[in-house]
Chains A and B, each alone.
Chain A
Amino acid sequence: MSYLSQPPRPLTRRPPVESMTGAVRMPLHSVIRMVALASAVTLVLGSQAILDWALALPVHPASDLAVNAADQWHAWMGQVGLTRPAEAARSGFRQLQN
């Protein structure tokens, strides 16, 4: 390790490139509102993914509750037609794949 015999010196020739330079900033309350609304949209449009997740949980009484709730939620979303956009996108993409 020849560097041990050298006097201490700064190592970095080029500083790391910052990923967030020039990015638009927003205050926390706006970010929280954005996260909350995006989560709600995900909950509504992604009921199939939530059901898939619940079905993959390990067997446990709490998991049964989660599965029942997710199943019920998915059924409600299906009744009002909110599962259709995601499923249409999925089947369209699968057709393209095949």
Chain B
Amino acid sequence: MLFPTLNFGLFFLVVFSVAWALVGHHRLRLAFLTAASYLFYGFWDWRFCALLAASSLGNHLFGRLIFDSPDPQRRKTILTVAIVLNLGCLAVFKYFNFFLESLNELLILLGVGRDLPFLSVLLPVGISFFTFHGISYLVDLYRGTLDRPASALQMLLYISFFPQLVAGPIVRAAHFLPQLRRPVDPAEIPAIRAFLLILGGLFKKVVVANILATELVDPVFRDPQAFGAIDLMLAAYGYAVQIYCDFSAYTDIAIGVAALFGYRFPQNFNQPYRAVGLRDFWRRWHISLSSWLRDYLYISLGGQDRRTRNLMITMLLGGLWHGAAWTFVAWGLLHGAMLVVEHRAAQGRQPLAGWQRGAAVLVTFHLVCLTWILFRAPDLGLALDYLAGFARLSQASQVAQPMVLALLAGGIGAHFLPAGRLDWLERQVATLPRTAQAAALGAAIVLIDRLGPDGVAPFIYFRF
């Protein structure tokens, strides 16, 4: 069930009505939201609901064991076993065939090819996200960031809560579980901001991301050798805007929907293409993942004590988290290497100012676009073909339509709007009568639906 569909609209109306009707019955409300979340997940493949429940209850059990154990050594052992099981589950469903395929290719290269036992497994939607939620719970409990374990019901809902289940944001246990412990306040719903985020998200996904995908990015990436340097450059910019609009749309809608149920999610994007460097970029892009990797992996590895090694490992695993393919490995390693270089170059330097800042934004944006080529290409060969195509300078553009160029300019230009734009817009909307606000909301939903191409493509991050 995709957010920008009538199916989800109907689902939302029913769940919203019942959840608020149960506001005086805290446990019943949690149970209902859990059941609704499993129904939402079951729309993709009901068989994976069992995996989701097993992951939640398994982590709940390990959490209790960690909390109840007075022996520090035993706590460490339990945590290690639990993390290994979580990652093992992820490895089987997401990486087993990838590693086997890579091993098979290596054996063939060495002249000792074998028929290896490939598994025919479907990738459960959102497995990377709910695995990270589970690990977050265990480590937060081990570290004492969480003062007590969740009940089984709270744990089931924390892992499965439908707005963030399949593509984040990655909401930490220490951030979300305290919200599930106390009743929600029906007098304090940030509805205008929630609806603005939802409308903005719908527009970014249905109009900007979908049009750029169909008119520009997909045709060029399908056969890069048929296009010249200008089109390849436009498609790289196009993918940068598309993936931002697609993914930030999902998280904006998730944040807005959760707020309408009385829960707060953290911000996940902060105008990433105005970053003045790669470190700044990762503080603005998919913030919930980058801070998760920083706090649970990079710091755990020793942080800046062995910065080069730890950055490379963190970014390699961050790349692999996105998908089981060598393109993601290369993407992660390239980001890791650039972060190492940037760290070294920045040591002892004054902060950038004036034109240097502008130049840094420009360079960072182009480096990010370059790495997006690896991220988007189906394999390394096609990525190399794409990069080689930048030498075809004389070929005229086939895809530079005015609408595409306008969406590109708008998508990049929006990154340079003032940071408080949402607050300002919210204040303006709040001055309108409630009836006008509601009518505008309904009309805007219809308008966005009619402007987009027919059909809705799945969100890019559903694959991860």
A residues bordering B, Cβ < 8 Å? 1-4, 8-14, 16-20, 22-28, 30-42, 45-46, 48-50, 53, 85-87, 89-90, 93, 96-97
Contact = CB atoms under 8 A, between A and B. Distances in A.
B176 to A, nearest CB: 10
Nearest to B439: A41
Contacts of A39: 13, 442
Given A18-B267, A24-B192, A26-B191, 17 more contacts: A1-B300, A16-B172, A16-B288, A20-B190, A24-B430, A28-B20, A28-B187, A28-B189, A34-B441, A38-B438, A38-B441, A38-B445, A39-B13, A41-B441, A42-B446, A86-B447, A86-B449
Contact of B259 (A8, A20, A97): A20
B143 interface: yes
Contact of A96 (B296, B403, B423): B403
A16 B445 contact: no
A57 B287 CA distance: 38
B23 to A, nearest CB: 7
B145 interface: yes
Contacts of B397: none
Interface residues of B, number: 73
A49 B190 contact: no
B265 interface: yes
Contact of B301 (A2, A28, A48): A2
B142 interface: yes
Interface string B417-439: 00000010011001000110111
Contact of B295 (A13, A41, A96): A13
A20 B258 CA distance: 11
A23 B426 contact: yes
A18 B443 CA distance: 29
B266 A19 contact: yes
A72 B232 CA distance: 47
B451 interface: yes
A38 B88 CA distance: 46
Given A27-B187, A86-B450, A11 B193 contact: no
Contacts of A50: 6
Contacts of A33: 434, 438
B401 interface: yes
Given A38-B442, A50-B6, A86-B446, A9 B143 contact: yes
B188 A25 contact: yes
19 contacts: A3-B301, A8-B143, A9-B143, A11-B295, A12-B295, A17-B270, A18-B267, A20-B259, A26-B191, A27-B186, A28-B23, A31-B191, A34-B441, A35-B16, A38-B441, A38-B442, A40-B442, A42-B442, A97-B401
B143 A49 contact: no
B267 A16 contact: yes
B260 A31 contact: yes
A70 to B, nearest CB: 10
Nearest to B172: A16
A17 B211 CA distance: 31
B302 to A, nearest CB: 6
Contacts of B188: 25, 27
A89 B450 CA distance: 7
B42 interface: no
Nearest 8 pairs of A and B residues by beta carbon:
A41-B442, A16-B266, A23-B190, A37-B438, A3-B300, A28-B186, A38-B442, A23-B193
A22 to B, nearest CB: 6
B189 A31 contact: yes
Contacts of B215: 97
B439 A25 contact: no
B193 A24 contact: yes
